[in-house]
Structure 1
Amino acid sequence: MKTDTQLQQDVLAELKWEPSVNATHIGVEVKDGVVTLAGHVDSYAEKWHAERASQRVSGVKALAVEIDVALAGSSTRTDGDIARSAEQVLQWVSFLPPGSVKVLVEGGWITLSGDVDWEYQRQAATNAVRYLMGVTGVSDQIGIKAKVSLDTVKSEIEAALKRRAKTDAQNIGVEVRGNDVTLTGSVHSWSERELATLSAWSAPGVQNVWDKMTVAY
């Protein structure tokens, strides 16, 4: 078990190791395994990568993000410009059916809505707009259409967890209600936790995945 001081040092080191993040602009505080990131970054993409880098560190129980996106003058764009860019880039994403995702921009913050068939399509949409210049944040409100019965989803998810999460699969509980999947139990790392949620999202017809798992180091 890492001390808070060790965990803070590891998170700082991981932020410095991540090439897309300027670690000198980010402060790290740790209390009881809960990491708080604070500071200012030049883009939403940098903020997102800082979050991801921190989650990779073993021992992080939870993450609080208090990072502001402070755009430089050359990066500032009007909401209209951002909306047009977002619509154009979404048209070039081969995974997305035309017109399936709608774009709303307010104060540089992009909100995506609409419906798609699969979770990977929803991820493709958010990935496409995350790196646009002038973006201060992205809200994903895209729904997933239910197109098949979920009678067999539980067994499919459990089989996928055994293939991907290996030893932790037996510690993960899967509950299916309608089109919602709830994952419970414990895993040994954030990567195992992410594998479990990705396995659940890969099942056809799943609209929501509720992650109630804990990370036990």
Structure 2
Amino acid sequence: MKTNAELQKDVQDAIKWEPLLNSAEIGVTAKDGVVSLTGVVDSYAKKVEAESAAKGINGVKAIVENIEVIYHNSYTKSDAEVANEILAAFKANYSIPDDKINVMVEDGRVTLEGEVQWNYEKEAAENSVHLLPGVKAIINDIAVKSLFHDKIEQKDVEDALERSVINSEDIVVSVSGTIVSLTGTVHSWYAKDEAARIAWKTPGIWEVINQLAVEYETAY
């Protein structure tokens, strides 16, 4: 069990451990497993890295992320420049079907729309935007619509979870058409994300509803 103070320190140490991050920029509070991140960073990549570092700590049940991205004047770009760099990044990545994705940029906030066949293509599009200067936020509204017409088998998803390193015995899988739902409990945020990632590999899938709860005892 961890106290609120212990969980706070663990997250602070995890952020400090990341080479990309300057721990002085990011404030951390913790209460009953809910971790709040605040502060100002000079790139969107740092914002993502801080959240990822917090997710990797045992005891974190939820994250409230209020980190603001403010660029120095030398890194400020127009929305047109950001959009053009995104399109160039898409063309340079073979995992991204760039002709299927629309990009909109407003005041550094990027919205991605369109349709792809696999979730990894949706993730690749978002990840390619993370490191670009001028990006302040990303809204990924890309829809996944597989061309596979085979019926999704619940047991196939369950078997894939059992083969993984996560403890899947408390995960309940249900299938409705092209949608896979995950309920039950896991013991870390990593396990929750990993379960969804595995489910997303199912041929024919359009959506994963990840309602897994992270259970971890917190001392008071």
Q: Provide TM-score, normalisation by structure 2.
A: 0.94
Query: Identity percentage over the alignment?
Result: 39
- The one-letter amino acid paired with 2:91 is Q
What stretches of structure 1 of length at least 5 have no aligned partner?
A: none
CA contact under 8 A between 2:83 and 2:104: conserved in structure 1? yes
Match of 2:169, SS state, is helix
Unaligned runs of 5+ in 2: none
Contact 2:110 2:138 in 1 (8 A): yes
The RMSD of aligned alpha carbons is 1.2
Question: Match of 1:207, as an amino acid?
Answer: W
Aligned residues of 2:39 and 2:66 also touching (Cα < 8 A):
yes
Residue 160 of structure 2 is matched in structure 1 by 160
Check if 1:17 corresponds to 2:17: yes
* Contact persistence 1:144–1:205 (CA under 8 A): no
Amino acid at match of 2:53: A
**More divergent stretch after superposition (2-11 vs 142-151):** 142-151
Aligned residue pair count: 216
Post-superposition offset of 1:152: 3.4
Equivalent-residue separation in structure 2 for 1:67 and 1:152 (angstroms): 39
Structure 2 residue matching 1:169: 3-state secondary structure? coil
Q: CA deviation at 1:134?
A: 0.5
**Residue deviations 1:41-62 (CA, integer Å, cap 9, x gap):** 0011100000000000110010
- Could you tell me how far apart the structure 2 residues matched to 1:169 and 1:149 are? 27
Residue 125 (structure 1) aligns with: 125
1:136 CA drift (Å):
0.3
Q: C-alpha distance in 2, partners of 1:36/1:164?
A: 30
Residue 207 (structure 2) pairs with residue 204 (structure 1):
no
> Which residues of 2 match residues 82-97 of structure 1 at below 5 A?
82-97=82-97
Contact kept? 2:151, 2:204, Cα under 8 Å: no
1:76–1:149 Cα change, 3 Å: same
Contact kept? 1:158, 1:174, Cα under 8 Å: yes
Q: Report the AA paired with residue 203 of structure 1.
A: T
Tell me how far apart the structure 2 counterparts of residues 98 and 140 of structure 1 sit (CA, whole Å): 14
Cα deviations across residues 134-182 of structure 1 (Å, max 9, x unaligned)?
A: 100111111111322353332211111000145x212101111122211
- Map Cα deviations across residues 75-100 of structure 1 (whole Å, 9 max, x no partner): 11000000011111101110123411
- Which range moves more in the overlay, 179-188 or 143-152? 143-152
Q: Quick check: 2:152–2:175 contact (8 Å CA) kept in 1?
A: no
TM-score (norm 1): 0.95
SS of the residue 2:50 aligns to: helix
Structure 1 window deviating more from structure 2 (196-205 vs 143-152): it is: 143-152
Tell me if the contact between 1:116 and 1:145 (Cα under 8 Å) persists in the aligned partners. yes
Aligned to 1:65: 65
Compare 176-185 and 80-89 and name the one that shifted more: 176-185
Is 2:41–2:70's contact at 8 Å kept on the other side of the alignment?
yes
C-alpha separation in 2, matches of 1:98 and 1:80: 17
**Separation in 2, partners of 1:114, 1:9:** 41
Q: Which amino acid aligns with 1:50?
A: A
Task: For residue 141 of structure 2, give the secondary structure of its aligned residue in structure 1.
Answer: strand
- Counterpart-to-counterpart distance in 2, 1:205 and 1:21: 39
What does residue 136 of structure 2 align with?
136
* Ranges of 4+ aligned residues in structure 1 off by more than 4 Å: none
